[in-house]
Structure 1
Amino acid sequence: MMIIHHRVQNYEAWRPVYDAHEPARSSAGLTNGRVFRSAEDPDDLVILFDMADRQKAEAFAASEDLKTAMQRSGVQGRPDVQFVG
């Protein structure tokens, strides 16, 4: 499983960019994405993905494509990315 934790400027602006990036996640073997929002701060997100191939997922997490999408969507600061399983 791949877990991402980050804050966004505005969830409503972030979500369409996240949804449009689904083909890139699928190509990296990431499926079944689940987005959770903090009850105290709805712009504080945790995202869980099932991961078919850790190497592909790590390459995706380090990619310029993901970095660009995160910047466009309003991600604040550096995301915390963890791989568990």
Structure 2
Amino acid sequence: MTMLFVRHEVSDYAAWRKVYDAFKPVQKANGVIAEAVFQAIDNPNDITVTHEFATPEAAEAFGKLEELRAAMRTGGVLGAPKVWMTNKV
């Protein structure tokens, strides 16, 4: 299993969450097996999202989706996200 981590700041968590939740069908259609959202304790607009995939290739393809970029813009993501992948061992 491959885990994709994305950390970014958003302008308004509640507004971002609505866009994120509406994006779940696109996640499922593009190989997301499981997902989770975490907020920093000291800043509710500092978000880390995890998405689990069967392969690194599926995670990379998901990260390149134009629909994902558009949703991030609509959701109020500020700046470039920090993105990394890991494999479960």
User: TM-score per shorter chain, which class?
Assistant: over 0.9
Q: Which of 59, 81, 84 is equivalent to 2:83?
A: 81
What is the identity percentage for the equivalent residue pairs of Structure 1 and Structure 2?
A: 36
Shift of 1:27: 1.7
Gaps of 5+ in 1: none
CA distance in 1, matches of 2:29, 2:43: 31
Gaps of 5+ in 2: none
Structure 2 partner of 1:52 = 54
CA distance in 1, matches of 2:50, 2:62: 14
When the two structures are aligned, how many residues end up with a matched partner? Answer: 85
CA distance in 1, matches of 2:10, 2:39: 11
Structure 2 partner of 1:7 = 9
The runs of 4+ residues in structure 1 deviating greater than 2 Å are: none
Structure 2 partner of 1:33 = 35
More strand by share: 2
What TM-score, normalized to structure 1?
Answer: 0.92
**Contact 1:29-1:51 at 8 Å conserved across structures:** yes
CA distance in 2, matches of 1:62, 1:49: 14
The one-letter code matched in structure 2 to 1:59 is: A
RMSD: 1.0
